[in-house]
Amino acid sequence: MTASPKHHRSSPIATNDRSGPAASPRIKLYKRRIAIDHPDPQAGERLLADALGAVDRDALHGILKQLVKASAIGQKPDEANLAFMISMMQSIAPRDSIEAMLAAQMVCVHVTAMRCAHHLACAGDLASQDSASRALGKLARIFPAQVEALGRYRNNGERAITVQSLPAQDGGEAIAGNATSYAGMTERSSVDAAVDVRMVLEPEAHGRAPQHADAGQGANALSATTTATPAPC
């Protein structure tokens, strides 16, 4: 296996049986090539393709070359760092090319963030501390955004929405518990429901007189009229 195979058409890779856990093979880095450390080259290639979510050899070689470059320490690729990145991608379990690219970016962002954390811990002057701190802060914000993007992609673009309980005011009924749904056809109904609840709890703020107040006033007026009318002889 070389880093840049020369062929005109990409060959598909047979999918492995994922019924049981299988460790991805390790990668051996040489000066001019990348080799899969497995007794059966074809089986090792299939295992690595499953771990990285690669659909064919072009995708496998492309993602693998990018991970090798991202694993470099001091401009030299590091096998242990590369093995960690492959293991993290396998745990994410990308299911197609989009998830494979996103998972590769996630592990690269994490590795880079940890390097920035190391630089911050070892910084000897204020300028180095400030530079490492700003870089670490940016990467720390990127990673959860990537996690959310992966979750939304796996849920067909729908974002989870949690409606928390609303307190009761002026005799209104409280909504207890949390309700989680997904955007799309439920997001608009959740907003409308929240508006309706506010109109019930705060009717005067929305230009509506409370119905229970009208009923109470009518009952008081009827009681006053009955009391004022003299009883017949």
d(CA 169, CA 178): 19
First to last CA, the chain: 114
Which stretch of 52-56, 106-110, 166-170, 177-181 has the lowest confidence by average pLDDT? 177-181
DSSP letter (8 states) at residue 221: H
d(CA 198, CA 146): 35
| Domains of the chain by residue range | 26-159, 161-228
* Higher per-residue pLDDT: 168 or 4: 168
DSSP 167-216: ---TTPPPB-S-EEEETTTTHHHHHHHHHHHHHHHSTGGGT---HHHHHH
103 close to 53: Cβ distance less than 8 angstroms: yes
What was the pLDDT predicted at 220?
A: 52
What was the pLDDT predicted at 7?
A: 46
Q: If you average pLDDT over each of 110-114, 187-191, 200-204, which comes out highest? A: 110-114
Burial (0-12, 13-18, 19+ Cβ within 10 Å), 163:
middle
What was the pLDDT predicted at 149?
A: 96
What was the pLDDT predicted at 233?
A: 41
Summarised one tens digit per residue, pLDDT across range 95-129 is: 999 999 999 999 999 999 999 999 999 999 999 99
pTM: 0.59
The pLDDT of residue 134 is above 80: yes
d(CA 95, CA 98): 8
Question: How large is the average pLDDT for residues 20-40?
Answer: 79
The pLDDT of residue 92 is above 60: yes
Q: If you average pLDDT over each of 33-42, 72-81, 138-147, which comes out highest? A: 138-147
Spell 205-217 as b/e; 16+ CB within 10 A means b: eeeeebeeeeeee
* Higher per-residue pLDDT: 117 or 189: 117
Summarised one tens digit per residue, pLDDT across range 54-85 is: 999 999 999 999 999 999 998 899 999 999 99
Beta strands in the chain (DSSP E): 26-29, 34-37, 160-163, 179-182
The pLDDT of residue 148 is above 50: yes
What was the pLDDT predicted at 169?
A: 59
Question: How large is the average pLDDT for residues 195-203?
Answer: 48
What was the pLDDT predicted at 159?
A: 62
d(CA 46, CA 55): 10
CA 10 from centre of chain: 31
What was the pLDDT predicted at 219?
A: 47
